[in-house]
Structure 1
Amino acid sequence: MNQSPDTYSRRWLLTRGMAAGAAVAVPTLAATQTASAVGALAVVDMELVLLACQVDPPKAGTGLTAGCGPHVLPVEQALRAEGLLASGNVDGHYGTATLDAYAAWQRRLGFSGIDANGVPGRTSLTQLGSGRFDVTRVVTTGSRTDSYGGRRVNTRTANMLRAADARLSWGLTLTQGSYTSSNPDSAGTHDGGGVVDISVSGLTSTQRWQTIRALRTVGFAAWLRTPSDGFAYHIHANGISDPDMSRPARNQVHDYYYGRNGLANHAADNTPEAYRVAFTWWEKYKRG
């Protein structure tokens, strides 16, 4: 797949001497106000704001996710202007304070439940940006009542699964879909959108890893779960940057970004190097 700077993969960053999560230059508040004064609105890339929503909150500090800070900052400035975010948190880091402030903005608009999870959706972000910034690269989930193999998923996830399936000579069989809290072993990861479990029954070890690679290629954070992890063999997959994703699932994407396993022990990813791919997400994959 063609790689370009807006993928912001770990591999791409390392080739430029930057570690994933390294700080990047962020426009100052004064500079943004000056631009507004002459009629130029900031441009907010929703894909990169969503990436920061997943990678930033679990961090111990307030470091920026590479490439994301300049797009998070106008969102935080707007939240500050709405009286929802303290000025000390207007820093380009989409941490827990920004999540809480954005959730308050969503509730102010009349949203509730998963629509007030602190993660920007198209409607809330566009309304926040009115007269302040323009939104580009919009991410949408589509219908929340779509399905794949009889399991409930949203349209974005269904499209991702079809694309991964097309890369394999065997089919994907889901054992658990999204928007369900029926399995306590899932620790809330399936409560929102974008998350599925996939059967590996009848697959060889190589086929299991090839399935992981196909899922990761189209934008899933995917891992093989094993008895040594405390699970029956299956694949757990999170559609990176799904706006409906639950917080526990978003925290798993944080782990994936940093090469970890998405479990409570945050151990190293057990995927063999031959089956790993550069960090990406569905919309980037579609651009090629």
Structure 2
Amino acid sequence: MELPTRRWLLTRGALVAAAVTAPAAWAGPAQAALPVIDMEMVLLAAQVDPPKPDTGLTPGAKAHVLPVEQALTALGLLAASAVDGHYGSSTISAYAAWQRHLGYSGIDANGLPGVTSLTKLGEARFTVVNPVRAGSRTDAYGGRLVNTRTATMLAAADAAFGGDITLSQGSYTTEDPTSAGTHDGGGVVDISVTGLSTTQRWRLVKALRTVGFAAWLRTPAQGFPYHIHAVAVSDPDMSAPAQRQVHDYYFGRNGLASHAADDTPTEYRVPFTWWEKSQR
């Protein structure tokens, strides 16, 4: 049916033919779709990969890390030999350099992708999905400074536990030198367990882990007064020492300098997760 119509148009006048055929000519070559980058997976790799003694890949993250590394290489911030899907220390350093290039400093240039810096890096290169935002840094929970994401997570854990979570230390603080810099950024809190039974303490650890915290019960045997130390997995404001604790938690360790096995009883452990994933 199309061929006779086409022939008639051609014989009736070139102008009509041009009007029919021009749109195809104007359209130009089709553009390839940009890769889609899952920010949650990039953040996961950025926390888990750097302390590894090799370049092993975090399951599910390679396809999302590679375009980020390729973009950093195109900007001259990362050696081509480091483009391997492993978000190691070289990629952390390169991404921190990108953040500084954008004018960021301090915890804003920690090498962990934030929504703004990742979106800017992806312009004409990739599209970002599943953004992770820390939110305001001036929120509070129980009178202690935390960001919005952390406060939301604590409220969810509090509801699951069925008690009142009391913080003994918040985020964005250097008030306790024994914390080894873990509280310098966002997502990290210490929780008082005074008045809780042993079972209640472990139940609270489980509630925190269920909503996406790397959480451990600290004890005098480890050199601490009893409390729970909790790190909000994938918080974009996390300090470098806290990032290493997430790595430890991912591999079933205690988050301390000893990197010993996690001593949490089996019945209070949960599969590794983070806030956004736990809500799906």
In structure 1, the partner of 2:180 is: 187
Instruction: Name the CA distance, whole Å, in 1 between partners of 2:193 and 2:108.
Output: 33
Q: For 2:99, give the aligned amino acid.
A: Q
- Note if 1:233 corresponds to 2:226: yes
In structure 1, the partner of 2:113 is: 120
Instruction: Name the CA distance, whole Å, in 1 between partners of 2:194 and 2:123.
Output: 50
In structure 2, the partner of 1:174 is: 167
- Note if 1:84 corresponds to 2:77: yes
Within a 5 Å distance, the mapping from 1:191-270 to structure 2 comes to 191-270=184-263
1:39 is displaced (CA, Å) by 1.6
TM-score by length of 1: 0.86
Deviation digits for residues 143-200 of structure 1, max 9, x if unmatched? 0010000000000000000000001221100000000011110000000000000000
Instruction: Name the CA distance, whole Å, in 2 between partners of 1:158 and 1:194.
Output: 9
In structure 2, the partner of 1:137 is: 130
What secondary structure is seen at the aligned counterpart in 1 of 2:112?
coil
Instruction: Name the CA distance, whole Å, in 1 between partners of 2:160 and 2:115.
Output: 30
Q: For 1:63, give the aligned amino acid.
A: G
Measured on the aligned residues, the alpha-carbon RMSD in Å equals: 0.8
What secondary structure is seen at the aligned counterpart in 1 of 2:279?
helix
Instruction: Name the CA distance, whole Å, in 2 between partners of 1:59 and 1:38.
Output: 38
Q: For 2:243, give the aligned amino acid.
A: R
- Note if 1:155 corresponds to 2:170: no
In structure 2, the partner of 1:109 is: 102
What secondary structure is seen at the aligned counterpart in 1 of 2:161?
coil
Which blocks of at least 5 consecutive residues in structure 1 are unaligned?
1-36
Q: Percent identity?
A: 71
What secondary structure is seen at the aligned counterpart in 2 of 1:147?
strand
Instruction: Name the CA distance, whole Å, in 2 between partners of 1:169 and 1:255.
Output: 28
- Note if 1:39 corresponds to 2:28: no
Instruction: Name the CA distance, whole Å, in 2 between partners of 1:168 and 1:85.
Output: 45
Q: For 2:194, give the aligned amino acid.
A: S
Q: For 2:245, give the aligned amino acid.
A: Q
Deviation digits for residues 89-140 of structure 1, max 9, x if unmatched? 0000000100010011111111111111111000000000000000000000
What secondary structure is seen at the aligned counterpart in 1 of 2:40?
helix
In structure 2, the partner of 1:7 is: none
Q: For 1:138, give the aligned amino acid.
A: P
Deviation digits for residues 24-77 of structure 1, max 9, x if unmatched? xxxxxxxxxxxxx94211111000000001000000001100001110000000
Q: For 1:54, give the aligned amino acid.
A: Q
Match of 1:59 among 52, 56, 64: 52
Instruction: Name the CA distance, whole Å, in 2 between partners of 1:248 and 1:72.
Output: 22
Which of these two proteins has the greater Rg computed from alpha carbons?
2
**Runs of at least 4 residues of structure 1 off by over 4 A?**
none
Deviation digits for residues 205-245 of structure 1, max 9, x if unmatched? 00000000000000000000000100000000000000000
What secondary structure is seen at the aligned counterpart in 1 of 2:190?
strand
Instruction: Name the CA distance, whole Å, in 2 between partners of 1:210 and 1:179.
Output: 27
Instruction: Name the CA distance, whole Å, in 2 between partners of 1:94 and 1:224.
Output: 29
Q: For 2:102, give the aligned amino acid.
A: L
Q: For 1:154, give the aligned amino acid.
A: N
TM-score by length of 2: 0.89
- Note if 1:99 corresponds to 2:92: yes
- Of 166-175 and 149-158, more deviation after overlay is shown by 166-175
What secondary structure is seen at the aligned counterpart in 2 of 1:259?
coil
